């Protein structure tokens, strides 16, 4: 068993490497998810409202967190939702199960790919943060980056669930039907009226946003451990349901 362990780790590492390279080489995927968060942050935080934000540090942090969380959501939801549905429809998941290798390697590879994308997004956000009049110590920037990288897991699970249910043609539409409302109704980019604040609590983006704010010692709602428990529950439940669905119907 011990002699096979290095080979198992190499199998996981190889899958993660080539999955990441595959998605990085896909301009339609890599371009929007790597460039859009920092680009939109600079558009709103520097070009359009830079003078006003310079006078309001709270708004500067709010915008930074909002576009950072948006950058976390996309790679997991689209990376899992579209690729899983395509691979399932073309029988690639069935083929992978027939080949020698760790059965969980393809899923772990996609999750690590998502985390790599989020790490790149956070590096770009950290680079442009001073332009948006945000000053965070390096330790707090590192803390929020780690929170966002780990926080990609529930969005991977959500994308996995969509990919296990939808066809290859319909998966992008279903992902967008959740992705776009989740951005606008979670309160991460636009404050919601008090009468509608309960809607934000239904979104994993809201819970991740509160943990990220707590990581930089900023005012936040609720208890970080409760938010983390909600995200962990979403990850476990959605992943379990998706695995069961794929095993039964693939």
Predicted TM-score of the model (pTM): 0.92
Query: What are the pLDDT tens digits along the chain (250 aa)?
Result: 444 777 778 888 888 899 999 999 998 889 889 999 999 999 998 998 888 888 888 999 999 999 999 999 999 999 999 999 998 888 877 777 777 777 788 889 999 999 999 999 999 999 999 998 898 999 999 999 999 999 999 999 999 999 999 998 999 999 999 999 999 899 999 888 888 889 999 999 999 999 999 999 999 999 999 999 999 999 999 999 999 988 876 6
What SS3 string covers 23-92? HHCCHHHHHHHHHHHHHHHHHHHHHHCHHHHCCCHHHHHHHHHHHHHHHHHHHHHHHHHHHHHHHHHCCH
């Amino acid at each position: 068993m011990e002699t096979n362990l290095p080979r198992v780790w190499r199998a996981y590492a190889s899958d993660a490497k080539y999955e990441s390279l595959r998605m990085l080489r896909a301009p339609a995927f890599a371009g929007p998810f790597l460039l859009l968060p920092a680009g939109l942050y600079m558009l709103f935080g520097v070009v359009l409202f830079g003078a006003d934000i310079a006078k309001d540090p709270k708004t500067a942090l709010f915008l930074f967190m909002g576009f950072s969380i948006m950058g976390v959501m996309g790679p997991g939801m689209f990376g899992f939702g579209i690729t899983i549905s395509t691979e399932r429809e073309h029988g690639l998941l069935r083929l992978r199960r027939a080949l020698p290798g760790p059965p969980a390697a393809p899923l772990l590879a996609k999750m690590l790919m998502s985390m790599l994308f989020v790490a790149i997004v956070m590096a770009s956000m950290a680079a442009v943060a001073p332009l948006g009049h945000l000053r965070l110590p390096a330790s707090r920037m590192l803390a929020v980056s780690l929170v966002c990288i780990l926080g990609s897991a529930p969005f991977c699970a959500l994308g996995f669930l969509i990919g296990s249910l939808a066809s290859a043609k319909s998966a992008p539409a279903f992902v967008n039907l959740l992705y776009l409302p989740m951005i606008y109704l979670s309160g991460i980019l636009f404050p919601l009226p008090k009468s509608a604040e309960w809607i934000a609590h239904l979104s994993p983006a809201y819970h991740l946003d509160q943990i990220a704010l707590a990581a930089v010692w900023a005012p936040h709602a609720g208890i970080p451990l409760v938010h983390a428990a909600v995200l962990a529950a979403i990850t476990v439940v959605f992943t379990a349901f998706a695995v069961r669905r794929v095993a039964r119907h693939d």
